[in-house]
A and B are shown apart, each in its own frame.
Chain A
Amino acid sequence: MTDTTPRLSARQIARRRRSVAWRRNWKLFRGHRSGLIGLVILGVFVAIALAAPLLADADGLKVTKATGGVLEAPSSEFWLGTDENGRSVLTMLIWGARISLFVGLLATAISMVIGTIVGLVSGFFEGWTARLLYRLTEWFLVIPFLPLAIILAVVLGRSLVNIAIVIGVTSWPATALLIRSQTLSIKERPYLERARLLGAGRWHRMTRHVLPNVMPMVFANTTLTVAVAILSETTLSFLGLGDPTRISWGSMLEGAFGVGAMTTGSWWYMVPPGICVVLVVLAFTLIGQALEEIFNPRLRSR
């Protein structure tokens, strides 16, 4: 061993590895035009959501403070016209971004946590716990989403967090199944056996070897799950199960439908939230697909 090379501590080595990995993944991601487009679109919406107080007056959401006429067409004062209460549609759209994104992300977080734990445990362990969890996953998967979501929403009550819970609880099985199958295949790999030979217990093997190798695919799947979650939130709000005190894109669609925006020709009430949902879902899907290609080398086009 030479003495001229600087001796690194274990932590420095770990940090260096992480930064190298990040840079490499970012470089790969940059090569995906579709992924970048998705990232840009998402960035715009996140910026809008975060900067909502700067962009639009919160008072504009209150029915009592509404200044516009009923269902006014877009004008220089109200860029996207007004709703049936005279509120600016643009203001509602901007503030609605917050709700839609928030619920989508929270629901995804719930779904991922439950799905990952169930998937890992049912894939890694062998006994009756694992089998039970697997049956549970299958059972949940079979139950149709919408009826279950409606029942849960009614039971839990209408609030933002409850909607997130409903979506999370109904969408975890897909994640669990994906993680379980990944776990099953990784479990057989020789490096798991090697870990055993080095004295690693089951917990260590599961968390240090299986989980890190499962996470990349999961990460890619998460972004796709967010897309679905946002769509689900929009659906549930549209059906009237959302939080009545909050404006989200789905509730805007509900409102628009309720006043017959289609027949009266008030496109400015219905089209903008619809487009926003589509764009955000598209953004997440594009990012998710790009990530999948990065983390699953087999999908890469040669």
Chain B
Amino acid sequence: MSDAPLLEAVGVGVQFTTRTGTVATALDGVDVEVRQGEILALVGESGSGKTTLARTLVGVQRPTSGEVRYEGEALSYSGRAMKALCHEVQMVLQDAAGSLNPRQTVYESVAEGLRIQRRVAEDPEGRTEPELVAAALAEAGLRPPERIFLRYPHELSGGQKQRVLIAGALALRPRLLVADEPVSSLDASIRGEILALLLNLRESLGLGIVVVTHDVGLAWNIADRIAVMYLGRVVECGTTEEVLERPRHPYTQALLSVVPEIEELTPVVLKGEVPDPTRIPGGCRFHPRCPALADGTAAEAGIAESCRTTALPVLAATGDHRVACHLAAEQES
């Protein structure tokens, strides 16, 4: 892994205006970075903005503020620049079943990227299109690839569909892969295989991977670093061990406590649900549901007022364990 980030989001904000005129803030200032060969997990619930962030990183969503940089240079959203970016950063979408055109065979789905980008002519080894498609399918674990060429999506199992999508992304030889909930629609026993595939791709191809997920267990399985998101901001980030074994933000702590696989933590079930992105609470955006504020811990530390009124700065994306929380900051000092 080299040290310079391959892809980074700097102060990225994304706002959507609905037809009625209300403004929904999906992302409200996010700094993340991914290096070559690194696996970053974006963890959060619905409304956290993790999928929007993934789409922004890939260039499909234009940020309303801030910028996304690839290899240090800000993305230009011109047609040609976007096409060039397809070679470098690829994304595997959330709905595996719906992401494949039902009227295209596996072969055509995987070859599509090659055809649009006219990659076959540029292949350094001079391979033909079927050979490139077979190579991509084999890399995604579908062997022998020729046997699956003429199958249609409805004839494939969930795991196979996911692999075909990954193959389609790999065919363009990207350096970074963004996977949005790669295993959430798959049976539990198949999850491990797909996750193992992602790890394998990091090993064999040196890919950097960004995984968007709501499942901390998945992050524990394969991620090097984690960014926990809540309502459009990163609230805690660091290495997987740091964030999941020694969480410092009350939200991360609550999230981990309700995961049934951990018996040591007493479950902290938060009240209510994630607020509407059109009405983000003032001060610390988590304060209305924060157990530390509710049970008086914050008041004891003397920062209860700050929780309600003082907004927190955007967390920097660099490696060490950082937390966007007044209480944590207070406890540190």
Q: State the Cβ distance, A43 to closest chain B Cβ, in Å.
A: 28
B150 touches A196 (CB 8 A): no
Quick check: is B75 within 8 A (CB to CB) of the other chain? no
* Residues A195 and B138 in contact, CB atoms below 8 Å apart: no
Q: Does B220 make an interface contact (CB < 8 A)?
A: no
Contacts A1-B145, A194-B93; A13 near B99 (Cβ below 8 A): no
Interface string of B200-243 (1 = CB under 8 A from A): 00000000000000000000000000000000000000000000
CB-based contact A7/B130 at 8 Å: yes
A10 touching B101 by the CB < 8 A rule? no
A9–B99 contact, CB under 8 A?
Answer: no
Query: Is the pair A209, B82 in contact by a Cβ cutoff of 8 Å?
Result: no
Whether the Cβ atoms of A1 and B144 lie closer than 8 Å is yes
Q: How far is the CA of A48 from the CA of B113 in the complex (A)?
A: 49
Check B101–A213 contact: CB distance below 8 A: yes
CB contacts (< 8 Å) of B143 on chain A: these are 1
Task: Indicate if the CB atoms of A191 and B98 lie closer than 8 Å.
Answer: yes
Taking a contact as CB atoms closer than 8 A, the residue among A5, A190, A200 that contacts B99 in the complex is A190
Asked if A246 is at the interface of the complex by the 8 Å CB criterion, the answer is: no
The residue that B105 contacts in the complex, of A9, A17, A204, with Cβ under 8 A, is A17
Judged by a CB distance under 8 angstroms, whether B45 is at the interface is no
Q: Which of A186-214 touch B at CB < 8 Å?
A: 189-191, 193-201, 204, 208-209, 212-213
In the complex, whether A75 has a CB less than 8 A from a CB of chain B is: no
Q: Is the CB of A213 within 8 A of B102?
A: yes
Bound-state CA distance A233–B163 (Å) is: 54
Q: Which of B7-15, B83-91, B260-268 contacts A (4 or more CB under 8 A)?
A: B83-91
Q: Which of B94-121 contact A (CB under 8 A)?
A: 94-95, 98-103, 105, 107-108, 111-113, 116-117
Contact code string A18-50 (vs B, CB < 8 Å = 1, else 0): 001000000000000000000000000000000
Query: Which B residue sits closest to A188, measured CB to CB?
Result: B98
Q: Is A301 an interface residue (CB 8 A)?
A: no
Q: Say yes or no: A13 contacts B150, CB within 8 Å.
A: yes
Q: Does B134 contact A (CB under 8 A)?
A: yes
* A20, B101: Cα distance in complex, Å: 17
Interface residue A16 (Cβ < 8 Å from any Cβ of B): yes
With A194-B93, A194-B99, A197-B90 in contact, do A1 and B129 touch (Cβ < 8 Å)? no
Quote the shortest CB–CB distance from B61 to chain A (angstroms).
11
Q: Could you write out 22 A-B pairs with CB less than 8 Å apart?
A: A1-B143, A2-B144, A5-B146, A5-B147, A7-B130, A9-B128, A10-B129, A13-B105, A13-B149, A14-B108, A17-B108, A191-B98, A193-B93, A194-B93, A197-B86, A197-B90, A198-B112, A198-B113, A198-B116, A200-B112, A204-B116, A208-B112
A sample of 11 more A-B contacts (CB under 8 A), given A191-B98, A213-B102, is A5-B144, A8-B130, A8-B149, A10-B107, A10-B111, A13-B149, A190-B94, A194-B99, A197-B90, A208-B112, A212-B101
